[in-house]
Amino acid sequence: MTLTPFRVAPWFRTRPWGTRELAPWYDYRVDGEPIGEVWLTGDNCLIKTGNHAGGELGVLARAHATELLGAKFAQATQFPLLMKVLFPKEKLSVQVHPDDALARKYGEPHGKTECWYVLEAAPDAAIALGLKPGTTTEQVNQAIATQALEEKMQWLPVVPGEMFFVAAGTVHAIGPGSVLLETQQQSDLTYRLYDYGSGRELHLEKGLEAVRLTTDAGKVAARSEGAVQILVESHFFRVERMVLGPGAQHHGVSGSAHVLFAANGGGAVLGEGFEPVGLHRGQIVVVPAVCASWELHTDAGMEVVCAIP
């Protein structure tokens, strides 16, 4: 095999709404601005193990698109999914992401549909997902002008283990008190509609063009397929969850890249033709499409969330 499973180093991104305390997820000293996002599969993230250690994930995706991602991504110019962990200590801005068509209108390759899996949540943690039924475009405009947009949104409590789908065009926000695993299209396109008077740039013209009054965003009920739970399935990604007891094994088959995130516990990815790759809480391992058969093994037990483009 040209490519074998490998771990990717996290990339710590500062955000004004973030935190300086990343434990127990990451042993990382925060100097200066707080950390709001830990990018796990950004194009600039560095490969940590294997023959391509030290290289960037995006460069590998361009050079070995079919082997890494599968035949349908033969012309890929980047890794298709951005997986990251969010640490909101303060409210994020009220924002919206464009769909593919609108993004391309303004010269970007694609838009941003995403989903959030709740890793941790305080009792009062909540997210805002979509506008209240019956809200009109005129009311959205007026609410932005009067700084009352929060009141037009549907606020939902969150608890660990829940999955929320955030379709492009959905007006949304995240409150403090949770830790979220986000899986999204590989894009950083965000249009801020309201930011609590922070002074940061707003993107009202493009943002209002992107807004959809109704979308299929919302909490997603998991469904089981054998030992695997399907958390969300969309045109852009499929996200699964596996809970393995002590000494358990999960046998996987690729054909497409699998991004394995350890939400709890630890273990290793094993297979013929490559050295075991350790996988512990907060880390990811990418299993290339060309890796026809692989196995996830744990001695003490682990919870794994797997994203497939």
Catalytic residue among 13, 15, 192, 281: 192
Distance CA 142, CA 147 (A): 8
Cβ–Cβ < 8 Å for 251, 287: no
* Angle value at C-alpha 269, between 263 and 272, nearest 5 degrees: 165
Establish whether 104 is a catalytic residue: no
List the beta bridge partners of residue 16.
Answer: none
Catalytic residues: 192
